[in-house]
Structures are given as C-alpha cells and as structure tokens.
Amino acid sequence: MSMDFNALAETYGTPLYVYDFDAMRAQYETLKEAFRGRKSLISYAVKANSNLSVVKQFADLGAGADCVSIGEVRRAMMAGVPKYKVIFSGVGKRDDEIREAIERDILYINLESEAELGRVEMIAQELGQVARISIRVNPNIDPKTHPYISTGLHDNKFGVEIDAAKRMYIRANASEWLEPVGIHFHIGSQLTELDPIREASEIVADLVRSLKAAIGIELKFFDIGGGLGIRYKDETTITPYDYAQAVLSTLTGMDITVVCEPGRFMTANAGYFLTRVLYEKQNGAKRFVVVDGAMNDLIRPSLYSAYHRIAPATAHEGDETPADIVGPVCESGDFLAKEYPLPPMAHNDLLVVHSAGAYGFGMGSNYNTRGRAAEVAVEAGADRLIRDRESFEDLVAPELKYLG
C-alpha cells in the first residue's frame, strides 16, 4: 500500500508510528497457509507490538497470543484472544503472575526451570486447580543471529537442557496438580537459515517420541517458538513454506498440533516511524541531521546497532552524503543511524524510518521526560489513531500526588 506520510504527519504530528494493517493481515495469512493440512495455531508474540488494536486484529483472524508477562496475558484477553489460545512464557514469573495465569485457565504455562516447575505445582495445589504446562527445551543449537537475540544455546538464560527436561516431565506426569500438554523451543529471533531450525526441531521431536515410549506422555502441542527473519536491508530470508516444511519434516508419524509464535515477521515491515528534521549541524567534517525522534522512541539502533532503511518522504535535490541521524536525547548513543547517505535536509523535512513495526514503540521510554509517540493504523486506505500521544500531564500524574 502506498501511504501519504506527509499527510499523516500533518494530521497526527511527529514523532509518529504508522502501521499498515493490511500488510500485517497478509503476513498472518501467508504463515497460516504454510502450515495448511496440519493442525496448527499461529500464536502472535505480543511483545513485538502490543498495541491493543494490533493484537485484536490478529485475534479476529484466529490467532492466539504468546505472552511474556501477566500484563501481556491481560492485554491479549482484553483484545479478544480466547483463554484457550493464550500461552504464558518467560524466564522470571512471579508467584502472583503464575497464580493469575492458572486462575485464568489459559492454554498452558511454559516452564523454564525445575525451580519454576516447583513453584507452579505448589501454587496450583494451593488453588486446588490443575495447571497445564509446557517445558521450554534448550536444544543448544547456534541460530547464527545477533548474540542479544540468540536464545537456544547453553550460554543463554532460556530453557532447560534435555536431561533436565526429562526429569521435569517425569515429575509433572506424576503430579496431581500438573498436566504436561506441550513442549517448546525457540532458538532466537531474526532467523535467516533453515538448518538450525530443522536441527532444533529434530532434537525436540526425538524427545517427544522418547517421552511417549519411556513414560507414556502424549504431548498435544509442539511449540516451535517464533523468530522467522525479515528483510531490513539485504538479508536473504526464509519463505514461510520452507520454514513450515523444515519443521514438519521432523514430525513424521506424530499426531501433534504445531504452535508457531511469530512477532517480528507479522509486524516489522508493516510499520513506519516518522520523524521531522529540526536542523542540520556540521562539526568539522562530520555531518549531523538532528530530528525530533530519539532513542526513547526507537532504541533498536542504539541497543543492537540495528539497521533501518531511512528515506525522505518526498524527493530531494542534491547529492547524498553520509550523516549521523540523531535525536534530542542527551546521550551520545542517541541515534537512528550512523553515516547514513542523505541529500541536503531542511527544517521540517520528513524522514520515514522503515521496518519499525516490531520492537519499536514497545521498547520506548520516557527518558528525558519525553512523551511517547502516537500510533496510527492504516487499513483499506483509511487511517485512524490507535494510541494517543503522551502528554507531560500523563508522565507526571503517577508522581504528582506525592509532591509535598
């Protein structure tokens, strides 16, 4: 869909997040089609973009929700995801979060340690309610991605090794208060190679078979996590069909529902971050383009050295030369790009930061007492506001009543 970014910026102001809902829907449908003929659940990873309207769109399409906090569980259910499609994952769940997840009777809780299994069992017994659980297995496969978003190696904090998983399943199977229904693995985000996915799936599928043969556990859900990569610049990506076939090839003869938890794949390239140029600045030979968007709005470049394509909203004359695109936040690490080729820019020119629909707004902050950006949805050619821009009053309200 072609968008009039200048009109959107004029209507809603900047900095601004804009989401193409039609593109998000197409991503969901492509992935669902890839698993056609197999029992499957596409469970949207809410952390990628947790706006209620985004989550509701996927819920309306039939998606579940992969949640990593009780807040995300509440958000998913508020947006219309039925409880039997809600999964609660994450390494560090508090007792009150576990209690609420059990009380809400969600599909299952993903367990990440033997200690956590003990807490869930104890809380389920206190409630007198059986907790459905899955165990996140760490297959120790190198996903060949950025180290900060790798999750399937022994060096990472996520999941348990095969032997620990076996012990946990034996204990859960014997417990009056635990019902083991699934198995889970997720080796990392922004995956662009098939072999690590296939290898991890083979290891976990073999564990499912051995659990059935050795202790009679018949798991219902084979949760492959998410992580399917997208193109930010020039990455060679995996097609959803090849991704699905790599997993399904390891499940021969197994009657099990495949759960897939995409986040970035669904929303990243459907999102744009709009920011206006304040002025240009030259420090010796170094060129800076100062904009009104900052690291508190989009932290991925500062945090991961992540690349986002950035382009003026309208054609500009003049040669492109390298510039650091920087924001107003009082940190040297406040930048959207370094040495990025741009034509000469003037005050109020609009820049469009692409691939900003995942891990953009959600990772934002109020650093430097900056209100977070507004969010806008564009669907079938019509635009609508889906989150107000934060005001100064919004920021100080939780503190003001304590001011002496």
Which tokens in the block code for residue 174? 């014997």
Going by the annotation, the residues of the binding site are 227, 261-264, 300, 304, 331, 359
- Catalytic residue (one of 315, 330, 346, 403): 330
Gap between the Cα atoms of 62 and 48, Å rounded: 18
Gap between the Cα atoms of 266 and 269, Å rounded: 8
- Whether 158 and 274 share a structural domain: no
Domain annotation covers residue 358: yes
Domain annotation covers residue 22: no
Name the domain boundary from 262, 284, 304. Answer: 262
Domain annotation covers residue 244: yes
- Whether 240 and 303 share a structural domain: no
Cβ–Cβ < 8 Å for 81, 63? yes
| Alpha carbon distance, N-terminus to C-terminus of the chain | 52
Gap between the Cα atoms of 124 and 131, Å rounded: 6
Is 330 one of the catalytic residues?
yes
Give the per-residue pLDDT at 157.
60
Name the domain boundary from 225, 244, 262. Answer: 262
Give the per-residue pLDDT at 106.
98
Name the domain boundary from 262, 293, 325. Answer: 262
- Whether 279 and 212 share a structural domain: no
- Whether 183 and 245 share a structural domain: yes
Total structural domains in the chain?
A: 2
- Whether 255 and 273 share a structural domain: no
We report the CATH number of the domain holding residue 170 as: 3.20.20.10
Residue partners of 185: CB distance under 8 A and separation at least 6: 136, 137, 138, 139, 152, 159, 200, 201, 204, 223, 224, 225
Per-residue pLDDT of the chain (404 residues; tens, 9 = 90+): 679 999 999 999 999 999 999 999 999 999 999 999 899 999 999 999 999 999 999 999 999 999 999 999 999 999 999 999 999 999 999 999 999 999 999 999 999 999 999 999 999 999 999 999 999 999 888 655 444 434 434 455 678 999 999 999 999 999 999 999 999 999 888 888 898 899 999 999 999 999 999 989 999 999 999 989 999 998 889 999 999 999 999 999 999 999 999 999 999 999 999 999 999 999 999 999 999 999 999 999 999 899 999 999 998 889 999 999 999 999 999 999 999 999 999 999 999 999 999 999 999 999 999 999 999 999 999 999 999 999 999 999 999 999 97
- Whether 243 and 311 share a structural domain: no
DSSP E strand stretches across 234-293: 257-260, 271-283, 286-291
Over residues 18-49, the pLDDT tens digits come to: 999 999 999 999 999 999 989 999 999 999 99
- Whether 99 and 239 share a structural domain: yes
- Whether 109 and 200 share a structural domain: yes
Cβ–Cβ < 8 Å for 30, 238? no
Domain annotation covers residue 240: yes
Domain annotation covers residue 18: no
- Whether 283 and 158 share a structural domain: no
Closest by CA to 303, choosing from 149, 101, 112, is 149
Domain annotation covers residue 25: no
Range of the domain at 53: 35-262
Domain annotation covers residue 163: yes
Taken as a whole, the chain contains a residue count of: 404
Angle at alpha carbon of residue 170, lines to 166 and 176, rounded to 5°:
145
Going by the annotation, the residues of the binding site for substrate are 264, 300, 304, 331, 359
We report the CATH number of the domain holding residue 338 as: 2.40.37.10
- Whether 288 and 321 share a structural domain: yes
- Whether 198 and 342 share a structural domain: no
- Whether 372 and 389 share a structural domain: yes
Domain annotation covers residue 26: no
Give the per-residue pLDDT at 404.
79
